[in-house]
Chain A
């Protein structure tokens, strides 16, 4: 029997120790620990790596701390657009969704695209039609609103972030 393992990330960037308060750092560490604990327990109980990945990411999507699900950043027109993907290393099957606006946990829809459609990626309106057919419930786009992201969006609009735009 294979020993299990799991690894997660919550984004990379200009995370400076001097700008992260001890309270906020504790929140981040606590949420990462919660996600890891859930994912690892699924694996130790014999669950699949796909189940562990989906459950772990869903916890991070539900947290306003991270730029995914609740806590997603703002688009230029003041909305939130979410993307997600998943891949199974055994079969090389994969599923992805892009630019969905009303799906609470896009990682669940990505897995459903992989398992219940003949396609790899569905985008925008079509992805949400597929989600409806598959019985997904919808949230309003403002479910993803957080004050922190709104304030940052305002700074970006006003050019106050001091960060160079990089688009490759």
Chain B
């Protein structure tokens, strides 16, 4: 699965996710990637999110929307909202994976509970970072 969240000069957020799904899947199984609110969500009032991981868990916890809702309704920062959702809500029900999240002010969060996640960013300061492992 791949994903991207961007913040443009007009202050607009957008998020997208694309995937080949799960190896050996049957029955027309669909994961979270195309499900708005589960694998992808964006709201200028909070943040944009793209997810990757075991889709069924992301669907059940409505992970992408939940991160945005925590920011808007509970006043949490993007990192608190994303980290608590991945390490709390998702992990509690046995799901694995991660998200990238970017808020309306350009703050970035990239939490995951797996060994690694291919990820990268260019922040509002123009600095680029590319990371793979947990220790990066």
Is A137 close to B, CB under 8 A?
no
Number of residues on chain A facing chain B (CB within 8 A)? 85
CB < 8 Å A-B pair total: 317
Query: Once the chains are docked, how many angstroms separate the CA of A106 from the CA of B123?
Result: 27
Specify which chain B residues have a CB less than 8 angstroms from the CB of A40 in the assembled complex.
Answer: 122, 128
Specify which chain B residues have a CB less than 8 angstroms from the CB of A1 in the assembled complex.
Answer: 9
> In chain A, what residue has the closest Cβ to B61?
A168
> In chain B, what residue has the closest Cβ to A15?
B116
Query: Once the chains are docked, how many angstroms separate the CA of A87 from the CA of B21?
Result: 19
Q: Is the pair B30, A11 in contact by a Cβ cutoff of 8 Å?
A: no
Q: Which of A1-53 contact B (CB under 8 A)?
A: 1-17, 20, 25, 28-29, 32-33, 35-37, 39-40, 43, 46-50, 52-53
Chain A interface, DSSP helix/strand/loop, else mixed: mixed
Number of residues on chain B facing chain A (CB within 8 A)? 80
Q: Is the pair A87, B42 in contact by a Cβ cutoff of 8 Å?
A: yes
Give B contacts to A, CB under 8 Å: 1-26, 28, 30-31, 33-36, 39-44, 48, 50, 52-57, 59-60, 93-102, 104, 106, 108, 110, 112, 114-124, 128, 130, 132-133, 135
List 17 A-B pairs, Cβ < 8 Å.
Answer: A6-B102, A9-B3, A9-B110, A9-B119, A15-B115, A39-B6, A46-B9, A50-B12, A67-B20, A68-B1, A84-B19, A88-B14, A89-B104, A90-B44, A96-B34, A121-B34, A166-B57
Known: A4-B122, A84-B16, A87-B40. 7 other contacts (CB 8 A): A2-B9, A8-B3, A33-B120, A35-B4, A61-B2, A68-B1, A76-B25
